[in-house]
Amino acid sequence: MELDQLTECYKAMADKTRLNILALLRHEELCVCELVEILKMTQPSISQHLRKLKQARLVKERRSSQWIFYSIDGEIYPFIKANIEALPDLSHKIEELKASGGKVCC
Amino acid sequence: MELDQLTECYKAMADKTRLNILALLRHEELCVCELVEILKMTQPSISQHLRKLKQARLVKERRSSQWIFYSIDGEIYPFIKANIEALPDLSHKIEELKASGGKVCC
DNA sequence: ATTTTATATAAACATATGGTTATATACTAA
DNA sequence: TTAGTATATAACCATATGTTTATATAAAAT
């Protein structure tokens, strides 16, 4: 893997919000508004972080009617994937969202 | 591992020069002036990159008379270490330096 | 002691980055 | 067709980052 491409990957991971997003998507695909709800950040901010992750090919998107669901891109290099799997377990955040009726959607 | 600490690690790796440094140190310890020579960059620039890598605990230093030798920190988290081992092989750069008589030192 | 060599630090500057507010687009529902 | 919902993009701003030049420090050599 080339250094330029690697640098882009690590740049994409070099932000706490984006690591949080990756840590959440590790459990299941989520749409933008769910991430907004969980991370308590504005929608444009989340969208721009997702764009960076997408450009670095760490996540992919899937449109379903009004929503766009993001998930970890399966094509990721194995050692990058290992990094994502080493992120903290945030499944409780998703559980909270479901419990509060905020899931699927919005 | 905490997200803040992880973010610092990835920030440290989110730069092409620093990835080059890590890729070189993967093979053997090097002093600042050797890195300057190999990477064709100014000494203060290299020094500041090394400081970031040191702050993120990716590298450690060892003083030997006038020189300060940098190397990969052995205490690194395993999956971070795997990242460094996945970096391109730059041993030829070190060989070139040795061939040109630029090694140990300066 | 003075000079030289190796490295670190500081100051200054240009560019990159992340957040906010406002607006545009895409789809849904009425 | 119009209104509403979900998301993206643009413009703006404050802060962070990387590079350069200049200077400081530390050890070695003379």
pLDDT tens per residue across span A12-36? 999 999 999 999 999 999 999 999 9
**CB-CB under 8 Å, B1 with A88:** yes
B83/A88 touch (CB, cutoff 8 Å), yes or no: no
Q: Which CATH number fits domain A3-92: 3.40.50.740, 3.30.300.90, 3.40.50.300, 1.10.10.10?
A: 1.10.10.10
The separation, in Å, between residue A48 CA and nucleotide D11 C1' comes to 14
Q: Which residues on neighbouring strands pair with residue A31, listed in sequence order?
A: A69
Q: How far is B22 from chain A (nearest CA, A)?
A: 11
pLDDT at A53: 98
Asked if A39 and A20 count as a contact pair (C-beta separation under 8 A), the reply is yes
Q: Which residues touch strand C (CB under 7 A)?
A: A 11, 14-15, 17, 41-42, 44-45, 48-49, 52, 63, 65-66; B 31-33, 36, 43-44, 47-48, 50-51, 61, 66-69, 105-106
pLDDT in tens, B37-54: 999 999 999 999 999 999
Based on its alpha-carbon atoms, the radius of gyration of chain A, rounded to whole angstroms, reads: 13
The domain limits of chain A are: 3-92
Whether B38 contacts B93, CB under 8 Å: yes
Q: In chain A, what residues touch B7 (CB-CB under 8 Å)?
A: 14-16, 19
CATH fold of B3-98: Arc Repressor Mutant, subunit A (1.10.10)
Residue B60: pLDDT over 60: yes
- Residues A29/A69, Cβ–Cβ less than 8 Å: yes
Is A18 or A106 the better-scoring residue by pLDDT? A18
Q: In what order do the strands lie in the sheet with A30-31?
A: A30-31, A67-72, A59-64
- CA–CA min distance A33, chain B (Å): 22
A62-97 residue pLDDT tens? 999 999 999 999 888 888 999 999 999 999 999 999
Chain A positions touching B52 (Cβ under 8 A) are: none
* DSSP designation for B61: E
